[in-house]
Chains A and B, each alone.
Chain A
Amino acid sequence: MTFAEKILAKYAGEKTVTPGQIVTVQPDHLLMHDNAAPIISKIQPELKEYGIYSKDLPVIVLDHVIPAAAEKNALQHKQIREFVKAYKIKYFFDVGYGICHQIVIEKGLALPGTLLLGSDSHTCSYGAVGAFSSGIDRTEAAALLLTGETWLKVPQSIKITLKGHLESGVSAKDVILSIIGDVSAAGADYCSVEFHGSVSQFSVEERFTMANMGVEMGAKNAVFPVDAVTMQYLSSIGIPKSKYKPMNPDADATYERELTYNLATIGPVVAVPHGVDKVKPIKEVEGIGIQQCLLGTCTNGRLSDLKIAAKILKGKKVHQNVRLLVLPASRKIYLDAVQEGYIKTFLEAGGTVLPPGCGPCLGAHQGVLAPGERCLSTSNRNFKGRMGCNEAEIYLASPATVALSAVVGKITDPRKVVRK
């Protein structure tokens, strides 16, 4: 069986399942963020009558519009805090902890072989640690809060085998963008994507970047095998091996499609407006002028991403035509980056460090673009209007590409400065 088949069979209490089959499952956690407010407002009478299914099920992280940009956001945050108190929700992370997906991983709420659903499309990120996780909508989250269960269709699976090693200056972000460019934004619709092959070269942070973007090719979930790298990461956040049971796909599993990539042939790439699958080798877009750079987000806001960027920015100045926004994915990462001196480097270079949240990535606040402007971002989406302005353009790239381009003022190949 594939990973998806194995885990859904386990949670459905069946020996085997087949793609297309509908199963009823009880997830280990249900993730919500600022949208917990509209979710609970849908079910006020039911909440009063039946209560919630379990106080351990929900994980609520305030991250989308933090600190509140307007009274409406502030009110929603307040409603959520009152809900958390009234129902004694165990896992609540108020404004400032960080971006929900980072918090779920950092706090050890996603573990190998567990199943999580969340009312955010990038919930697929937890495949980085071998969990099955997928995004759902607000109505479904509301029903889950009440009943603790929902239906899932057993997906077909796609096996992506990664071979060889990356050249320096090329990152996990370039790999996943290249794959999305090939597969297309709809190419993995409804499918479970499994990464195989030489994955031990990718840290959990890099796996996070790749699993996070699984949804950008339409995938239901994207998952890495649980190996020594995963176990070492989990042990570093205080989770011993005895606390989880890895679940890896069988060697004889049946896949809908199998793709193989030679990592040595992948170079830096950029997704151009207005689609994540409009991926071009960097030489085709080099020299395009930019006015804003966004470094961070749930896709690339971890310490190793900030380290790569800080190395490039050390002793340099951001180009006078460019605003560099830095968005660490969590308070912990922010603090670590302060201790490592990366934050000092960003500030000295002329960057602006934002509170750990989602802000500019979805165009909510803190970095909305103006008509005619171009932003080069390490985030995961470049849809028209995504950063709050329809007449602006968003280009997606790796932290190294964004950092060097911020200095040059134009999209620039990071291999020009990055040496191992």
Chain B
Amino acid sequence: MLFPGKYTYTCSTAEEIRPHLLEDLDPSFAKNVQEGDFIFAGKNFGCGSSREQPVLGLKAVGIVAVVAGSFARIFYRSSINQGLLLIECPEAVKAYTQGDKVWLDVEKGTISVGSSTFSFPKLPKEILAIRDAGGLLPYTREKLRQKKK
């Protein structure tokens, strides 16, 4: 579990979420994670409920992107809405060993792991627009402002 359900209604801000992030999976995660880190994960990353605490938490600790074989649907949407990058690229996950240098090019749709480079499907423009605005809420605010004009 990315974030234990027992905290669902007691933690909702990034500071409250952070210490419990991935605690059931890797109790040292919250302590060891650094700004600029990537997460490499297997299939169906983020499966389960519609809680967005894990996404808020991953963003708050400075995760650049999550690279996985595949993502669970609601987690995928949730990440777009918070402006967290998700890269679906099983080949890159397979190639990665802990400590490898990782380079990501969102425009080109490529990710380099160590000495190998892989491509992934580019994100649709509607979704990039939300990310560029800084997430769905800033995007919505702008939309409402435009409407009111």
Contact = CB atoms under 8 A, between A and B. Distances in A.
Contacts of A50: 144, 148
A134 B148 CA distance: 30
Contacts of B137: 42-43, 139, 142-143
Nearest to A118: B50
A388 interface: yes
A76 B70 contact: no
B74 A135 contact: yes
Interface string A129-148: 00000111111101100110
Interface in B1-40: 1, 4-6, 8-10, 12, 24
A151 to B, nearest CB: 6
B24 A390 contact: yes
| Interface magnitude class on chain A | 35 or more
Contacts of B141: 46
A354 interface: no
A203 interface: no
A330 to B, nearest CB: 21
A189 interface: yes
| Interface magnitude class on chain B | 35 or more
Contacts of B73: 134-135, 189-190, 215, 218-220
B8 to A, nearest CB: 7
Given A135-B74, A189-B72, A385-B6, A146 B144 contact: yes
B109 interface: no
Contacts of A72: 9-10
Interface string A375-393: 0000001011110101000
Given A73-B9, A121-B48, A381-B48, A139 B24 contact: no
Interface in B81-120: 81-82
A208 to B, nearest CB: 19
A288 interface: no
A13 B8 CA distance: 38
B140 to A, nearest CB: 4
A143 B137 CA distance: 6
A386 B51 CA distance: 13
A135 to B, nearest CB: 5
B126 A138 contact: no
A27 interface: no
Contacts of B72: 186, 189, 218
B109 to A, nearest CB: 15
B44 A146 contact: no
Interface string B117-133: 00000001011000000
Given A138-B52, A146-B144, A186 B44 contact: yes
B7 to A, nearest CB: 10
A398 B19 CA distance: 37
B135 interface: yes
Interface of B: 1, 4-6, 8-10, 12, 24, 43-44, 47-52, 55, 70-74, 76-78, 81-82, 124, 126-127, 135-137, 139-141, 143-144, 148
25 contacts: A34-B9, A43-B137, A46-B140, A120-B50, A134-B73, A135-B50, A135-B73, A136-B77, A143-B137, A143-B139, A147-B140, A151-B127, A153-B124, A186-B44, A189-B70, A190-B73, A218-B44, A218-B73, A220-B73, A364-B6, A383-B1, A383-B48, A385-B1, A386-B5, A388-B6
Q: Please name the 9 residue pairs, one residue from A and one from B, whose CB atoms are nearest each other, closest first.
A: A186-B44, A137-B78, A143-B140, A137-B52, A139-B81, A121-B50, A135-B50, A22-B126, A121-B49
